[in-house]
Amino acid sequence: MKIVKEWCMYCGECAGVCPRCLIEVGEATITFDESSCKDCEICVQACPVRALIKEE
């Protein structure tokens, strides 16, 4: 999973749905612990602006 930061509006949806709590969203920041990501795509589906993209 990768983040297109230019598209993110920091709504926090993705952080709320990640079963591993790997995404942290602040007022104008988003960070993601890539090392533990299982590519389950739950966050990808949850993002209203499609700022999260599954990497092939």
Question: Shortest distance, CB of residue 6 to ligand SF4, whole angstroms?
Answer: 11
* Distance between CA atoms of residues 28 and 21, nearest Å: 18
40 binds ligand SF4 (CB under 6 A): yes
53 binds ligand SF4 (CB under 6 A): no
Q: What is the DSSP string of 25-51?
A: E-SS-EEE-GGG-----HHHHH-TT--
Chain residues binding ligand SF4 by CB under 6 A are: 1, 3, 8-14, 18, 20, 22-23, 25, 30, 37-43, 46-47, 49, 51-52
